């Protein structure tokens, strides 16, 4: 049986990066740039004022102070978007507003707060220093500079930068369409009558949400019964997608037929079963060049298998370079018993106690208990070789949600519930340490 890391490698070596498309910058939020972006002009495009005040020649105001005031004659104004057409000569000044272009002849801006004015005469009460409060042309970005690179994730700052540079459209990697099939005679959908012995099909929904969370597009193939013909018909429909996920029917039960169905559809099996709990019976293969993930049916097994294998694969398809969730080190709050042979991924909550990060198992670790996922901040990684896992031991925890517990507390106020945690550079990823932020713990 493959170890989890070997299985991840096998999956990723078969995953293609999708093609690119040109979309509006606002639609590009969360997507990955498919090309470098060079600045086609300087930003800012001209020298302009960082303050509201007066533009003048430094030679005139050198040495000015409250006891040695300098009087200048106001000859006009330079507002943002409305440059002053004339030239500032010796003994002269213009009004200037933040963002206003520095008029010809001027080389310094004096803040309003350091002046007084009467009619056309402005009195300068400080020497701001030469070139003060001027934002020089190109101080942010210079023409032809590479500002964004292929592979960058488009976040709000990148969207702002693209707009600043005058780009309405960008090329990004495409999002995969991901077909999702649930299998099981016991399953009913939300609009179907429920009775004892039936199970509401939750995997179609949790998996679709996971697909959407990583930026891909889910395509529901509905629920197939434990019947090869039904499964075959539905999966065939899914072959127009870029990847196929099935849930259930991949274990060793009499009605676990999904592997056979997939083989009939031409799947080349790359592996079946991974040495992990939950999620052991995963099957992975390809039909043509399409990755197919046969996930186990238990709701937490399906979600955790998605996290470990499907999410990195979908991210790779979309051009991402960082494919894995960050992990932290935390101290075990209680003993964590485990089977000797397999790696366990234990749903846990992360909290802070006496300046240390602690991890506590969520109560019910059954593979069917979805509540454990609802409560979990992350997954404790319990490898057989590191056993025993007794209270006080340091363990690694893979975080499942970036807003929990990463952003629990405002660093500026008493808002929030827990002490702040901060990111510190760690081995190959993000390591998070408890920080002594001011405020209540």
Binding residues for ligand AMP (CB under 6 A): 182, 184, 186-187, 199, 201-204, 247-249, 251, 253, 296-299, 368
Q: How far is the CB of 247 from ligand AMP (least distance, A)?
A: 5
**Nearer to ligand AMP among residue 128 and residue 249 (C-beta):** 249
Residues in Cβ contact with 379 at an 8 Å cutoff, skipping those fewer than 6 apart: 304, 307, 345, 346, 347, 348, 397, 398, 400
The candidate with the shortest Cα–Cα distance to 235, out of 277, 283, 202, is 283
What residue 294 binds from Mg ion, ligand AMP, none (CB within 5 to 8 A, per partner kind)? none
Nearest-CB residue for ligand AMP: 297
Q: How far is the CB of 235 from Mg ion (least distance, A)?
A: 15
**Nearer to Mg ion among residue 48 and residue 247 (C-beta):** 247
Report the alpha-carbon distance of residue 76 to residue 92 in Å, rounded: 10
CA 358 vs CA 204, 365, 378, 432: distances in Å: 33, 18, 12, 12
Report the alpha-carbon distance of residue 94 to residue 78 in Å, rounded: 7
Q: How crowded is residue 235: how many other Cβ atoms within 10 Å of its Cβ?
A: 24
**Nearer to ligand AMP among residue 148 and residue 245 (C-beta):** 245
Q: How far is the CB of 298 from ligand AMP (least distance, A)?
A: 4
Q: Does the footprint of Mg ion cover residue 285 (CB under 5 A)?
A: no
Q: Does the footprint of Mg ion cover residue 176 (CB under 5 A)?
A: no
Task: Please report, to the nearest 10 degrees, the dihedral formed by the alpha carbons of residues 188, 194, 199, 200 taken in order.
Answer: 60
Q: How far is the CB of 367 from ligand AMP (least distance, A)?
A: 8
**Nearer to ligand AMP among residue 132 and residue 280 (C-beta):** 280
Q: How far is the CB of 19 from Mg ion (least distance, A)?
A: 36
Q: Does the footprint of Mg ion cover residue 294 (CB under 5 A)?
A: no
Total binding residues for Mg ion by CB under 5 A? Answer: 4
Report the alpha-carbon distance of residue 94 to residue 100 in Å, rounded: 11
Residues in Cβ contact with 307 at an 8 Å cutoff, skipping those fewer than 6 apart: 210, 325, 379, 398, 400
Q: How far is the CB of 339 from ligand AMP (least distance, A)?
A: 19
What residue 251 binds from Mg ion, ligand AMP, none (CB within 5 to 8 A, per partner kind)? ligand AMP
Task: Please report, to the nearest 10 degrees, the dihedral formed by the alpha carbons of residues 31, 37, 40, 44 taken in order.
Answer: 70
> Strand, coil or helix: what is 172?
strand
Q: Where are the alpha helices (DSSP H) in 126-217?
A: 156-164, 203-213
The candidate with the shortest Cα–Cα distance to 405, out of 380, 429, 424, 422, is 422
The candidate with the shortest Cα–Cα distance to 329, out of 441, 437, 427, is 427
**Nearer to Mg ion among residue 184 and residue 238 (C-beta):** 184
**Nearer to Mg ion among residue 302 and residue 395 (C-beta):** 302
Q: How far is the CB of 187 from Mg ion (least distance, A)?
A: 8
For 399-430, the DSSP string reads ESBTTBSSS-B-SSSS-BSS--EEEEE-SSSE
Q: How far is the CB of 294 from ligand AMP (least distance, A)?
A: 9
Q: Which range of residues in 70-78, 183-191, 330-338, 394-402 is near Mg ion by CB under 5 A?
A: 183-191
Q: Where are the alpha helices (DSSP H) in 199-274?
A: 203-213, 228-238, 258-264
The candidate with the shortest Cα–Cα distance to 162, out of 45, 39, 46, is 39
Residue 56, beta-bridge partner list: 93, 108
Q: Does the footprint of Mg ion cover residue 378 (CB under 5 A)?
A: no
Q: Which range of residues in 4-12, 28-36, 155-163, 184-192 is near Mg ion by CB under 5 A?
A: 184-192
What residue 187 binds from Mg ion, ligand AMP, none (CB within 5 to 8 A, per partner kind)? ligand AMP
Identify whether the C-beta of residue 360 lies closer than 8 Å to the C-beta of residue 352. no
Q: How far is the CB of 381 from Mg ion (least distance, A)?
A: 28
**Nearer to Mg ion among residue 248 and residue 281 (C-beta):** 248
Q: Which range of residues in 72-80, 96-104, 106-114, 241-249 is near Mg ion by CB under 5 A?
A: 241-249
**Nearer to ligand AMP among residue 16 and residue 253 (C-beta):** 253
Q: Which of 100, 128, 176, 184 binds Mg ion (CB under 5 A)?
A: 184
Q: Does the footprint of Mg ion cover residue 281 (CB under 5 A)?
A: no
Q: Does the footprint of Mg ion cover residue 299 (CB under 5 A)?
A: no
The residues of the shown chain that bind Mg ion, judged by CB under 5 A, are 184, 248-249, 297
């Amino acid at each position: 049986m493959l170890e989890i890391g070997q299985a991840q490698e096998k999956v990723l070596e078969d995953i293609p990066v999708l093609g690119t498309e040109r979309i509006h910058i606002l639609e590009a939020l969360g997507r990955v740039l498919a090309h470098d972006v060079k600045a086609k002009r300087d930003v800012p495009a001209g020298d302009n004022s960082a303050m509201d005040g007066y533009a003048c020649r430094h030679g005139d105001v050198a040495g000015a102070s409250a006891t040695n005031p300098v009087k200048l004659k106001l000859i006009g104004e330079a507002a943002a978007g409305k440059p002053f057409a004339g030239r500032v000569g010796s003994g002269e000044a213009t009004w200037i507003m933040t963002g206003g272009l520095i008029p010809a002849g001027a080389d310094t801006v004096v803040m309003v707060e350091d002046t007084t004015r009467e009619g056309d005469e402005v009195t300068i009460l400080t020497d701001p220093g030469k070139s003060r409060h001027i934002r020089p042309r190109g101080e942010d970005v210079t023409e032809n500079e590479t500002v964004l690179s292929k592979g960058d994730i488009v976040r709000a700052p990148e969207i702002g930068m693209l707009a600043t540079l005058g780009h309405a459209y960008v090329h990004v990697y495409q999002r995969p369409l991901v077909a999702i099939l649930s299998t099981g005679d016991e399953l009913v959908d939300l609009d179907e009558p429920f009775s004892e012995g039936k199970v509401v099909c939750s995997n179609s929904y949790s998996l679709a949400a996971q697909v959407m969370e990583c930026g891909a597009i889910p395509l529901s193939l509905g629920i197939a019964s434990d019947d090869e013909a039904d499964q075959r018909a539905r999966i065939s429909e899914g072959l127009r997608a870029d990847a196929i996920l099935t849930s259930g029917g991949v274990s060793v039960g009499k009605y676990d037929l999904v592997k056979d169905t997939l083989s009939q559809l031409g799947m080349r099996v790359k592996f079946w079963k991974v040495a992990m709990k939950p999620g052991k019976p995963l099957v992975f293969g390809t039909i043509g060049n399409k990755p197919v993930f046969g996930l186990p049916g238990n709701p937490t097994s399906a979600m955790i298998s998605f996290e470990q294998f499907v999410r990195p694969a979908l991210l790779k398809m979309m051009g991402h370079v960082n494919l894995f969730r960050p992990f932290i080190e935390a101290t075990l709050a209680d003993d964590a018993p485990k089977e000797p042979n397999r790696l366990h991924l234990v749903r846990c909550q992360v909290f802070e106690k006496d300046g240390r990060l602690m991890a506590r198992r969520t109560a019910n670790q059954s593979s069917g208990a979805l509540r454990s996922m609802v409560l979990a901040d992350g997954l404790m990684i319990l490898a057989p070789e590191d056993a025993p896992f007794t209270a006080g031991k340091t363990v690694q925890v893979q975080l499942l949600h970036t807003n929990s517990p990463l952003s629990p507390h405002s660093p500026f106020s008493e808002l929030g519930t827990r002490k702040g945690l901060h990111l510190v550079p760690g081995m190959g990823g993000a390591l998070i340490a408890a920080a002594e932020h001011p405020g209540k713990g």
